[in-house]
């Protein structure tokens, strides 16, 4: 119901993703999958809405000191010993309340991006999210460069 109003007046849709939407890691595949979906639908939406003057901002925060790792998260009661090394339980237990990100500063940056004429599509927030994005870009670039000759040689031969 918001799109008819936004088409008339323009605006920005802010979708909350995560550093987990940039790069998948062990122990949280379900969460990564959900955030990858947010990334994909947001990118598609950005292309669809651009002609109407509607922007999309994908916020990709790293760890911020909120209740995300506290009472707002539910962990499975049964543990599978084989997955202990990749479990996010240890991460949660050692990082809850120790996140370095300040939520008030994050909100200020988000609002700044919404008001900016040159707002990005992707907004990794915090030094950890920024390093995740840099690492993902480097890995992606390495794969693309290493396999370029093979991947572009897949069209039909010219007749």
Share of the chain above pLDDT 70, in %: 80
Q: Where are the alpha helices (DSSP H) in the chain?
A: 2-9, 29-49, 89-95, 103-115, 127-151
Using CA atoms, how far apart are residues 131 and 76, in angstroms rounded to an integer? 29
Give me the catalytic one of 18, 35, 89, 91.
35
Instruction: Decide: 52 and 96 in contact? Cβ < 8 Å.
Output: no
Nearest CA to 54 out of 111, 16, 11 is that of: 11
105 flagged as catalytic? no
Active-site residue flag, 30: no
- 31 among known catalytic residues: yes
Give 2-151's CATH code, choosing from 1.20.1730.10, 2.60.40.420, 3.50.50.60, 3.40.50.720: 3.40.50.720
What is the sign of the dihedral through the CA atoms of 91, 26, 129 and 64?
A: negative
- Listed residue (115, 15, 7, 12) closest to 51, CA to CA: 7
- pLDDT for 2 equals 82
Selecting among 9, 17, 87, 139, the annotated active-site residue is 17
Query: Taking 60 as the threshold, does the pLDDT of residue 70 lie above it?
Result: no
Domain boundaries, the chain: 2-151
Q: What is the DSSP string of 97-117?
A: TT--B-HHHHHHHHHHHHH-T
pTM above 0.85, yes or no: no
- Most confident of the ranges 11-15, 24-28, 82-86: 11-15
Residue with tokens 């987990």: 20
Catalytically annotated residue among 31, 89, 91, 136:
31
Contact (CB, 8 A) for 119 and 55: yes
């Amino acid at each position: 119901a918001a799109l008819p109003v936004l088409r008339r007046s323009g605006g920005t849709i802010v979708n909350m993703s995560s550093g987990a939407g940039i790069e998948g890691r062990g122990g949280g595949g379900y969460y990564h999958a959900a955030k990858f979906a947010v990334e994909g639908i947001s990118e598609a939406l950005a292309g669809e809405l651009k002609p109407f003057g509607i922007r999309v901002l994908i916020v990709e925060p790293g760890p911020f000191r909120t209740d995300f790792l506290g009472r707002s998260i539910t962990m499975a009661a049964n543990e599978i010993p084989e997955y202990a090394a990749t479990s996010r339980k240890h991460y949660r237990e050692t990082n809850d309340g120790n996140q370095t990100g300040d939520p008030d500063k994050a909100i200020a940056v988000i609002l700044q991006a919404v008001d900016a004429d040159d707002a990005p599509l992707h907004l990794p927030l915090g030094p950890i999210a920024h390093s995740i994005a840099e690492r993902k870009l480097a890995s992606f670039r390495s794969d693309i460069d290493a396999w370029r000759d093979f991947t572009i040689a897949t069209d039909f031969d010219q007749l």
